[in-house]
Amino acid sequence: MIYFDSAATTLQKPSMVLRAVEAAMIGCGNPGRSGHKAAMTAAKTVYECRELIAELYGMAEPERVVFTQNATHALNIAIKSQLKGGGHAVISGYEHNSVVRPLEMMEGVEYTSVSTPLFDPDAAYEGMTAAVTDETKCIICTHISNVFGFVLPVERLDAFCGEKGIKLIIDASQSAGVLPLDMSKLKNTAFVCMPGHKSLYGPQGTGVLLCGNTDKLYSLTEGGTGSDSKNLRQPDMLPDLFESGTLNVCGIAGLAEGMRFIAKTGLGEIEDKERRMMKRLASGLKEIEGVTVYYDRINHCGPLSITAEDIPSEEMCRRLADKGFCLRGGLHCSPLAHRSVGTIEEGTVRISLSYFNNTREIDLLTAEIRKIMSEEDY
């Protein structure tokens, strides 16, 4: 099996991730509830992970790192905090349904989706900033499109939000563990949302909400936090406000090892390796007749989409799966992105790498797609 579906979840993890999950299952109690050894071991495990994430993102206060179930959970907290009571949001034309669906469901909330050309960050910036009105409370923007790997100009949008007195929410689902973000410089970013199980190499069931410069914090779930227990109201301090109930300590233990792997390897090395492999893949695929490759040398990072003439994306993925390749076809839960690019009817074949892929695997995939296309008489 050759795995190219890391934009959904990374399958190959650093070996220490697995060991840490097992160790936590054996040795970790419930953090923040008791003072015995098992509880304190769990608390140490969780806090170390907070510190590692805070360090990677330039945050001085680890308590502003909140653990969630996944990026969708984090985005729901972020969006519902920022837009509680209604208001207007501007979103890019490349947002995932985990942004669009909460907006659709919120009463009194309106949003403008700004469709702009692929791999044109200037157009995305101009379009989104032009859509801001006096009613706009926030801009919500993905750092990297989960379909096309388009890197959006979130730093410039943060600066714009400062000029307008509004907030930015960043969906870092595809960039976390690959591209840097410095929260100490993102002065107008209220929240950054990310999964733990993709390029941070943690287990599934882990997500992270970074709480930046905002006082609009609204819990979706209330309950026991192990703190301020006499108070019948939810505590307003972080991370307790957003972490009711028992945490996924085993998952967080694994995530901590994923974070240590990233710190040891270096974001720059990870990005360079993935970009080199992606350039090789895109170059190879572009030579195949009938294949359209959505790639840009500068403004692309992460997932690569292709379409094949006369072969629907799901059919291409099925044929590749028969040969042992794991890829995803269809719309990737991002219809807006496909409307922006014009691939909404059949979707795309998405090829997404991790640090653990290699050039041999890329060449094998390229050769298999070439073979499939030749069988179609191209």
Q: Using CB under 8 A, which of the segments 59-67, 291-299, 308-316, 353-361 binds other proteins? A: 59-67
Does residue 350 belong to the site contacting other proteins (CB under 8 A)? no
What distance in Å separates the CA atoms of residue 182 and residue 195, rounded to the nearest whole number? 17
What distance in Å separates the CA atoms of residue 374 and residue 301, rounded to the nearest whole number? 29
Instruction: Pick from 27, 58, 62, 335 the residue near other proteins by CB under 8 A.
Output: 62
- The two structure tokens encoding residue 118: 């692929």
What distance in Å separates the CA atoms of residue 107 and residue 130, rounded to the nearest whole number? 24
Q: Which lies closer to other proteins via its Cβ, residue 45 or residue 366?
A: 45
- The residues near 172 (Cβ < 8 Å, ≥ 6 apart) are 71, 143, 181, 192, 193, 194
Does a cis peptide bond (omega within 30 degrees of 0) precede residue 239?
A: yes
CB of 217 to other proteins, least distance (A): 15
What distance in Å separates the CA atoms of residue 359 and residue 266, rounded to the nearest whole number? 20
Amino acid occupying residue 280: R
Instruction: Pick from 55, 63, 120, 315 the residue near other proteins by CB under 8 A.
Output: 63
Instruction: Pick from 122, 135, 228, 272 the residue near other proteins by CB under 8 A.
Output: 228
Q: Which lies closer to other proteins via its Cβ, residue 235 or residue 335?
A: 235
Give the Cα-Cα-Cα angle 230, 236, 240 (nearest 5 degrees).
80
Distance between first and last Cα of the chain: 27
Instruction: Pick from 235, 290, 312, 330 the residue near other proteins by CB under 8 A.
Output: 235
What distance in Å separates the CA atoms of residue 339 and residue 310, rounded to the nearest whole number? 20
CB of 210 to other proteins, least distance (A): 15
CB of 265 to other proteins, least distance (A): 24
Instruction: Pick from 11, 23, 40, 326 the residue near other proteins by CB under 8 A.
Output: 40
The answer to whether residues 222 and 234 touch, using CB atoms and an 8 Å cutoff, is yes
Residue whose tokens read 């044109």: 120
The CA–CA distances, whole Å, from 218 to 66, 122, 248 equal 13, 33, 21
Q: Which lies closer to other proteins via its Cβ, residue 33 or residue 370?
A: 33
Three-state SS at 304: strand
What distance in Å separates the CA atoms of residue 168 and residue 285, rounded to the nearest whole number? 36
What distance in Å separates the CA atoms of residue 122 and residue 297, rounded to the nearest whole number? 16
Does residue 227 belong to the site contacting other proteins (CB under 8 A)? yes
Q: Which lies closer to other proteins via its Cβ, residue 15 or residue 229?
A: 229
Instruction: Pick from 5, 95, 158, 240 the residue near other proteins by CB under 8 A.
Output: 240
Q: Using CB under 8 A, which of the segments 212-220, 225-233, 305-313, 360-368 binds other proteins? A: 225-233
Instruction: Pick from 133, 229, 359, 374 the residue near other proteins by CB under 8 A.
Output: 229
Does residue 360 belong to the site contacting other proteins (CB under 8 A)? no
Does residue 43 belong to the site contacting other proteins (CB under 8 A)? yes
The answer to whether residues 143 and 95 touch, using CB atoms and an 8 Å cutoff, is no
Does residue 184 belong to the site contacting other proteins (CB under 8 A)? no
- The residues near 354 (Cβ < 8 Å, ≥ 6 apart) are 3, 6, 10, 11, 12, 199, 201, 274
Does residue 212 belong to the site contacting other proteins (CB under 8 A)? no
Does residue 51 belong to the site contacting other proteins (CB under 8 A)? yes
Q: Which lies closer to other proteins via its Cβ, residue 253 or residue 365?
A: 253
Q: Which lies closer to other proteins via its Cβ, residue 43 or residue 285?
A: 43
CB of 289 to other proteins, least distance (A): 57
Does residue 96 belong to the site contacting other proteins (CB under 8 A)? no
Sites of contact with other proteins (CB under 8 A) = 31-35, 40, 43-44, 47, 50-51, 61-63, 225-231, 235, 237-240
